[in-house]
Structure 1
Amino acid sequence: MSTDHREVNFDGLVGPTHNYSGLALGNVASMTHGGLVANPREAALQGLAKMKALMDAGYPQGVLPPQQRPDLGALRALGFTGSDERVLARAAGEAPQLLRAVCSASSMWTANAATVTPSLDAPDGRVHFTPANLQSSFHRFLEPATTARVLAAIFRDEARFAHHPVLPASPAFSDEGAANHTRLAAAHGEPGVHLYVYGREAFGWGSEPGVAPRRFPARQTLEASQAVARQHGLADYQAVFAQQHPDAIDAGVFHNDVISVGNGPVLLYHEQAFLDEAGTLAALRERMAEPLIPVRVPAEAVSLEDAVGSYLFNSQLLSNPDGSMTLVVPGECQERESVWRTVQDHLLAGANPIAEVMVQDVKQSMRNGGGPACLRLRVVLSAEERAALSGRVLLDESLYAELTAWVERHYRDRLAPEDLSDPALARETLTALDELSRLLGIGAVYPFQLGER
């Protein structure tokens, strides 16, 4: 066992254009809160507070920057011409849904940024990254190019880090990143088994009739998950591919991390997480060197509706030096009696390593459908790999203070959908991001810094 490997959670900073536009079909919280007035400053400070709470508790914590929004280049590619002011005004008048999309701050949910394989599991001994294509929704399809530049800027050392191209932006290879991927192992420093969860098979090979969702689309394909595993060089014995239960998708479980979370040998999941629950557990047990510890939450304890409403399973499950684990849950879990009772009586009192629950307020993110787990990308790194990171992206007291001050200088405390056409907002955002890229020491990663409009 390697003792110097640690899991670093890279949280996404909430961007200055955080708003409630209800863009995400199948995301019940996003659809429910569409049109409300958002508070970008509070959202960013809540995200930073969560990062600091985990840092203070001894968990390595990283930071990923938001994307350039509004994406005026996307509007220009769609035929809007003229000055920035003219482009914004025309889009607001002619295609307000496009304006909302190009202003989305959805990159805050870095669980969708990429899929990551630690060097322990890769045949070439490097950490592998594949940015997600996010082709299932236009507002997220705009993210991968910048995401790839940001990851390459931070994980720059080619001797230790490998970056793969985004999968083709085709429905057949619809990829939503680490939100549908879980690594299970005895510990972070041991070889792991990778659980890839998909919603549909694009080509229908081996699929059975009647296993597709009827209400909401299945975003991740089997073919995308298989392609990422191939890119990263994983062997058959290192990977398990499991289909998400279509009833869960129809209930608003648009990503697997809304219905299950794994860490070390523990898999915490709702009984309706997988279409073939028994087969999924058997495949994991067959491949894992350490005995799997399944923690099953039955539907009679927590309904799918309560699971989605509370985001119990969109929690962070973190390892402690004594072998115990901490579950980081959103405050909404306390607001539903069945969920909080299950946390106390089934999880904390059960025969599993979960020994502590930490409650975090990420309400601004939750209203758009993103809980604690959505906000972070998990990257297992050795001490040498952590030392090889470029830029200033590992949180410490100084960086936290500077980022907090940066947010308070640049972010509005009120943003309604009708404010998105304000040219001043676009100028404010560019000023903020230019300062942030210097603060983090990551160089030019944004289109406007690269001479693109």
Structure 2
Amino acid sequence: MSQEINFDGLVGPTHNYGGLSRGNLASDKNRGRASNPRGAALQGLEKMRKLIGLGLTQGLLPPQERPFIPGLRAVGYTGTDGQILEKAFQDSPALVANMSAASSMWTANAATVSAGSQTSDGRVHLTPANLVAMPHRALEAEQTHRTLSAIFKDTNHFNVHAPLPANSLFGDEGAANHNRLASGHGAKGLELFVYGRDALRGQSGLKFPARQTLQASEAVARLHGLSDGETLFVRQSAEAINAGAFHNDVVCVTNDNVLFFHEAAFEDTALLEKQVLAKGNTLGFKPVFLMAKRDALPLQDVISSYLFNSQLITLPNGDMNLILPIETEETASAKAFVDECLAGDNPITAAHYMDLRQSMSNGGGPACLRLRVQANASQQAGIHGGVMMTPAKIDALENWVRQHYRDRLIADDLGDAAFLQETREALDALTQLLDLGSLYDFQR
């Protein structure tokens, strides 16, 4: 039997509000604020604990090495690692901020994943995102490939591809622009790729970058061996991007046969629904469209509440639940739409509101923090066991966070060689806790 495993990103010790992500309104708004890495990591672990308590299988992806000294060496800095960091910070705090972002915590951008039921060879395929739209995120691709290859190393069941070429033609943001619709987790279904721009035709009418290209989505579908009958490429609306929906998962989420979305999520909603209905009829599922309309739920409320950046999950008994940030509960129009869905004739039976304010303040909600991997029993057995979560493992990780993480971090801390040593000690202890060996450059 297939299950959907949520692999949540563990917030790293350099979690800070650098305001590095143009088009991400929360990131811009909170630039320069003091952050709380310890609180952020504990909030994320509490979400993982909640999903385990609901009966789901939960995994974890470790944070990346930050500050990233190899990146500073690559642009001409020399000396010991501590000297490099301090000299670079003296020259350019902004450069060091880019090399210190904890943005890999948002694992919806780690990769695009296709279930074995969809792929030509029956294996689960994962393509790490190149994230070329933002300099601080483009640093992640190589380590993400290494990490995923260590966790999904059983090549009988998994195929971890290299990232797409790192250029603007193949701008790839991972699963944040990818959805799947089917009758159930193990069933063959429809892979819905959402793009912001066709890189061969240019970009118009946008004040913020459209990060995902059609060409990247098409390339991933080819790499994963997906058939034309089981894929659909849909354009995100310029209205949504300009409002602050820098990824499609800010305005849309799917689970099984349910499409939960805002009226402004796509360029042509009527065409999308028509195409999904036709594909569903062929593939054996009847789609359920839960759409919030502009008049009742303005886009500005969608962006501030992150309603559609919720996790829509299927429980062991078949019911669906929403995992939402408390900002949704605090936004009247968003809360009203959730209540309307709960009272309606659809599979969603409950909503759980969670405190993820440290992540939300940087523009990432529940769905940003997780990568969905669908796997049958044999495939699950091939996943590295050290990253699979239990209540006891979460207890151990919480103790590790309390031992190694600061509860307050400001921009000036990022250029301190002593802080670099702190982060490395933390990550070294983590790889032992997760039995991942020498995962990071500084360990090699």
Is 1:156 paired with 2:153? Answer: yes
Residue deviations 1:63-112 (CA, integer Å, cap 9, x gap) = 11000000011011112222223222222222111100000000000000
Instruction: Give distance in 2, aligned partners of 1:269 and 1:391.
Output: 34
Is 1:130 paired with 2:124? Answer: no
SS in 2 for 1:327: strand
SS in 1 for 2:399: helix
Instruction: Give distance in 1, aligned partners of 2:298 and 2:235.
Output: 20
Deviation at 1:146, TM superposition (A): 0.7
Residue deviations 1:362-383 (CA, integer Å, cap 9, x gap) = 1000000000000000000111
Residue 348 of structure 2, aligned match among 336, 351, 354:
354
Residue 409 of structure 1, aligned match among 387, 403, 427:
403
User: What residue number does 1:19 align with?
Assistant: 16
Is 1:315 paired with 2:303? Answer: no
Is 1:105 paired with 2:102? Answer: yes
Residue deviations 1:229-256 (CA, integer Å, cap 9, x gap) = 0000001011000000001100100000
Q: Which moved more, 1:79-88 or 1:168-177?
A: 79-88
Is 1:153–1:443's contact at 8 Å kept on the other side of the alignment? no
Is 1:331–1:362's contact at 8 Å kept on the other side of the alignment? yes
Between the aligned residues of both structures, percent identity stands at 50
Deviation at 1:397, TM superposition (A): 1.7
Instruction: Give distance in 2, aligned partners of 1:418 and 1:446.
Output: 24
User: What residue number does 1:398 align with?
Assistant: 392
User: What residue number does 1:232 align with?
Assistant: 224
Is 1:202 paired with 2:174? Answer: no
Deviation at 1:8, TM superposition (A): 0.3
Q: Which moved more, 1:301-310 or 1:278-287?
A: 278-287
Is 1:177 paired with 2:174? Answer: yes
Alignment of 1:246-261 (within 5 A): 246-261=238-253
Instruction: Give distance in 1, aligned partners of 2:205 and 2:308.
Output: 20
Residue 76 of structure 2, aligned match among 70, 75, 79:
79
Is 2:117–2:186's contact at 8 Å kept on the other side of the alignment? yes
User: What residue number does 1:55 align with?
Assistant: 52
SS in 2 for 1:49: helix
User: What residue number does 1:432 align with?
Assistant: 426
Counterpart amino acid of 2:192?
L
Instruction: Give distance in 1, aligned partners of 2:386 and 2:79.
Output: 37
Deviation at 1:323, TM superposition (A): 2.9
Is 1:251–1:305's contact at 8 Å kept on the other side of the alignment? yes
Instruction: Give distance in 2, aligned partners of 1:299 and 1:156.
Output: 45
Deviation at 1:287, TM superposition (A): 1.4
User: What residue number does 2:322 align with?
Assistant: 327
Residue deviations 1:353-411 (CA, integer Å, cap 9, x gap) = 11100111110000000000000000001111111112411110221111111101100
Paired residues, what number? 441
Deviation at 1:336, TM superposition (A): 1.1
Deviation at 1:7, TM superposition (A): 0.3
Moved over 6 A (4+): none
User: What residue number does 1:269 align with?
Assistant: 261
User: What residue number does 1:282 align with?
Assistant: 274
Deviation at 1:441, TM superposition (A): 1.2
Instruction: Give distance in 2, aligned partners of 1:391 and 1:342.
Output: 39
Deviation at 1:164, TM superposition (A): 1.0
SS in 2 for 1:196: strand
**Cα RMSD, aligned residues only:** 1.1
User: What residue number does 2:162 align with?
Assistant: 165
Deviation at 1:13, TM superposition (A): 0.3
Deviation at 1:294, TM superposition (A): 0.6
SS in 2 for 1:392: helix
User: What residue number does 2:337 align with?
Assistant: 342
Residue deviations 1:293-336 (CA, integer Å, cap 9, x gap) = 11110011111100000000000000123332100000101111
Instruction: Give distance in 1, aligned partners of 2:206 and 2:382.
Output: 47
Residue 92 of structure 2, aligned match among 95, 99, 116:
95
User: What residue number does 1:297 align with?
Assistant: 292
SS in 1 for 2:307: coil
Instruction: Give distance in 2, aligned partners of 1:330 and 1:68.
Output: 27
Do the aligned partners of residues 157 and 75 (structure 1) sit closer, same or farther apart at CA in structure 2, a change above 3 Å counting? same
Instruction: Give distance in 1, aligned partners of 2:317 and 2:270.
Output: 30
Residue deviations 1:100-152 (CA, integer Å, cap 9, x gap) = 00000000000000000111111101000100000001100000111111111
Instruction: Give distance in 2, aligned partners of 1:271 and 1:252.
Output: 15
SS in 2 for 1:313: helix
Instruction: Give distance in 2, aligned partners of 1:82 and 1:442.
Output: 29
Q: Which moved more, 1:383-392 or 1:264-273?
A: 383-392
SS in 1 for 2:59: strand
Counterpart amino acid of 1:71?
F
Is 1:240–1:280's contact at 8 Å kept on the other side of the alignment? no
Residue deviations 1:255-292 (CA, integer Å, cap 9, x gap) = 00000000000000100000011111122122122111
User: What residue number does 2:209 align with?
Assistant: 217
Is 1:380 paired with 2:374? Answer: yes
SS in 2 for 1:38: coil
SS in 2 for 1:116: strand
Instruction: Give distance in 2, aligned partners of 1:343 and 1:134.
Output: 32
TM-score by length of structure 2 reads 0.98
Instruction: Give distance in 2, aligned partners of 1:258 and 1:85.
Output: 38
Unaligned runs of 5+ in 2: none
Instruction: Give distance in 1, aligned partners of 2:316 and 2:407.
Output: 39
User: What residue number does 1:242 align with?
Assistant: 234
Instruction: Give distance in 2, aligned partners of 1:21 and 1:67.
Output: 17
